[in-house]
Amino acid sequence: MSLLSRLVLRVTGWGWVRSLFTRRFGRRMAMRFVAGETLSDAVAATRALNERGMAVSLDHLGEHVTTRDEAIRARDDYLECIAAIAAEGLGANVSVKLSQLGMGLDDALAAESLGALARAAAAAGTTVTVDMEESAVTGLTLDLYEAAQRAHGNLGVALQAYLHRTPGDLERVIPLGGHIRLCKGAYDEPDTVAMRDKGEVNRAFDRLAATLMAAAGTVPAIATHDEARITPVAEAAAGRSEPWEFQMLYGVRGTMQEALVADGHPLRLYVPYGDSWYPYLTRRMAERPANLWFFLRALLGR
């Protein structure tokens, strides 16, 4: 992650900046990356993407809840989302952050809620992906994921190429089966736990992607918008008989998304919805600081 990207994450974490964004300018910007604030917005966006040949992973925005009630509400919102996927016959699964289900506050509650989502998803014929958050919770996230995956078998997890620990984590999760999402990593991490050099992260990503694409019994989900990372995976896919997919974010590189589908590649879009969009938006801005110009234009009323 570049110095500028880390600066963006720091500054957008300040209380007054957050309040300026959320009360005034941010919503308009966020809607470039978010399908809307309600479940029906998410359903409509999913239907439209399915019609264009893309599968979806629905993310009901939220993370790091501070009360059990919030954690339970988050679980119930996800149950409602899974019910809608089944009722509307959508080509979609769900992505969830364990801190949103109470991890760190009440780990037993988070584990129980993840199990409830996996059961509901199984009944709806779909799956649950566990997003990966900051490195302080990587180990705990994998522990809760492993327990749920062993019990239910219809989950998947995200791994971040920039973490030094990820090759070991990949070896740990491959035997559990499920879908494994490989991404670069979106948080501001110290260099003791994560690579900072972009080239180094890219090389780590390519090595991990090659391992994942060669693994049997998993569904590799290669999550990137980086053309140089996509090309070797598309080549490796030619020799793969088991399912796999590319994954991209709603609102990022739409033309490339269309081209991948036109070339016959399986593509799933990560589609967030809900009103807790601020932390998600800050990570999207940090990935591409040029996005800040949208903010400045909004600020100037253009």
Ligand X SMILES: Cc1cc2nc3c(=O)[nH]c(=O)nc-3n(C[C@H](O)[C@H](O)[C@H](O)COP(=O)(O)OP(=O)(O)OC[C@H]3O[C@@H](n4cnc5c(N)ncnc54)[C@H](O)[C@@H]3O)c2cc1C
HSE-CB at 297 with a 13 A cutoff on CA atoms is 8
Distance, CA of 49 to chain centre: 17
Q: What share of the chain is helix, strand, coil (3-state, %, to 5)?
A: 55, 15, 30
Stretch touching ligand X by CB under 6 A, among 22-30, 62-70, 178-186, 258-266: 178-186
Q: Which is nearer to ligand X, 68 or 203 (CB)?
A: 203
Q: Which is nearer to ligand X, 83 or 253 (CB)?
A: 253
Distance CA 255, CA 135 (A): 32
- According to the binding rule CB under 6 A, does residue 176 interact with ligand X? no
- According to the binding rule CB under 6 A, does residue 224 interact with ligand X? yes
Residue with tokens 């509901």: 120
Question: Binding residue for ligand X (CB under 6 A) from 114, 148, 183, 267?
Answer: 183
Question: Binding residue for ligand X (CB under 6 A) from 49, 94, 101, 223?
Answer: 223
Q: Which is nearer to ligand X, 186 or 219 (CB)?
A: 186
Question: Binding residue for ligand X (CB under 6 A) from 185, 220, 272, 274?
Answer: 185
Stretch touching ligand X by CB under 6 A, among 17-25, 35-43, 106-114, 180-188: 180-188
Distance CA 26, CA 221 (A): 30
Residue 290 CB, nearest distance to ligand X (Å)? 8
Distance CA 95, CA 181 (A): 11
Residue from 98, 6, 41, 49 nearest 283 by CA: 6
Q: Which is nearer to ligand X, 69 or 93 (CB)?
A: 93
248 close to 54: Cβ distance less than 8 angstroms: no
Distance CA 141, CA 147 (A): 10
Q: Which residues are catalytic?
A: 131, 181
- According to the binding rule CB under 6 A, does residue 148 interact with ligand X? no
Stretch touching ligand X by CB under 6 A, among 46-54, 170-178, 188-196, 245-253: 245-253
Residue 228 CB, nearest distance to ligand X (Å)? 9
Stretch touching ligand X by CB under 6 A, among 69-77, 82-90, 217-225, 293-301: 217-225
Report the chain's terminal Cα–Cα distance, integer Å. Answer: 30
Question: Binding residue for ligand X (CB under 6 A) from 78, 187, 273, 295?
Answer: 187
- According to the binding rule CB under 6 A, does residue 140 interact with ligand X? no
Please provide the DSSP assignment of 98-164 as one string: GGGGTTTT-HHHHHHHHHHHHHHHHHTT--EEE----GGGHHHHHHHHHHHHHHHS-EEEEEETTBT
Distance, CA of 94 to chain centre: 10
Residue 253 CB, nearest distance to ligand X (Å)? 5
Stretch touching ligand X by CB under 6 A, among 86-94, 98-106, 207-215, 241-249: 241-249
Q: Which is nearer to ligand X, 16 or 227 (CB)?
A: 227
Question: Binding residue for ligand X (CB under 6 A) from 25, 270, 273, 295?
Answer: 270
Query: How many residues does the structure list for the chain?
Result: 302
Residues that bind ligand X (CB under 6 A): 131-132, 158, 160, 181, 183-187, 223-226, 247-249, 252-253, 270, 284, 287-288, 291
